[in-house]
Amino acid sequence: MGFYLNLKLKAFRLKQFLLGHGGRKRKHKKLAKPSWMVPMRYGYHVVEHNMISDGFSDDSDFDSVVAQREEIDNTELYYFGIFDALIGDRVTNFMQSHFFDKKLQEPHITRKSKEALKRAYLSVRAKIREEHGLEETCRMGSACVMVINGEKLVVANMGDYRTVVCKDGIAHQATGTYQQPRKLHWSRRLFAGHMLACLSGSEAGAKPSRGSEVVVRSEWIDSDTEFLILASNGIWEVMKQQEAVNLISHIEDPQEAAECLAKEALVRMSKSNISCLIIRFD
């Protein structure tokens, strides 16, 4: 078992929970890694927009930020994620009991992590659908990433939360883009019609939401990989991916970069929850 952080920031005040080894609270942490691995640092910032405008909000309204380190069969894994209040810590709890607590062998880590993340999201989506109905799951959002030995990324997201990779100054959306199939069976067309109704309130000109679609994929970390942005729809509804990369690319401190990105979204009057986590590879 490694360390586990479940982080929440109320306006600009941090509430941090540390389980496992150690006990010091930090805004960002220099990660000690063997010389053959890529060293990295991370920072995060979470703001509930309604609290800024109304002056108050309940803790349950806030996105969660998670950072967790594990060692499995000589493999070092870092698990990072941001989750909306509806999802909360459900995906993390699933991963803890169905992946991190299992005795896996190194050759299977990447495949098993992809499978576990997909199962986690599908399981959580099904439970929330039972509790709150389909309309609520249309608004669910999350982005998480697993860094394996500092060499490979396994990325998962749901809804309008995205993971963007900056490589040599260029923004790449790690989870790909959504495309509506050209032909659908009648039952899927019916479901698609309901999804369009869910999306009717989106900002004009914005790209279509994926609703509660789950996307999981993996890719290598190479010498051009500079940093990752995990961010909520409150960031992406007011700025493009390359804009976000350009805004923080010169900021070496990931905590400062996360705060800068969040504050810019506030300046642009984002109407949704604002949360972001920056992972920089040195």
Residue 184 lies in a domain: no
- C-alpha 164/C-alpha 278 separation (Å) is 10
The pair of three-digit structure tokens given for residue 169, joined into one six-digit string: 């100054």
Count of domains for the chain: 1
Q: Which domain holds residue 158?
A: 4-177+190-281
Residue 124 lies in a domain: yes
pLDDT in tens, the chain (282 residues): 454 555 544 333 333 333 233 333 334 444 444 444 557 899 999 996 555 444 444 445 789 999 999 888 788 999 999 999 999 999 999 999 999 988 787 778 999 999 999 999 999 999 999 998 877 777 789 999 999 999 999 999 999 999 999 999 999 987 544 333 334 444 444 444 443 334 333 333 344 455 678 999 999 999 999 999 999 999 999 999 999 999 999 999 999 999 999 999 999 999 999 999 999 998
Q: Nearest-CA neighbor of 199 among 208, 190, 191? A: 208
The pair of three-digit structure tokens given for residue 234, joined into one six-digit string: 């409150």
Residue 182 lies in a domain: no
For the chain, the distance separating the N- and C-terminal CA atoms, rounded to the nearest angstrom, is: 26
Report field, pTM of the whole predicted structure over 0.85: no
We report the CATH number of the domain holding residue 41 as 3.60.40.10
The pair of three-digit structure tokens given for residue 15, joined into one six-digit string: 């509430």
CA atoms within 13 A on the CB side of 84: 26
- C-alpha 24/C-alpha 241 separation (Å) is 34
Provide the 8-state DSSP code for 41: E
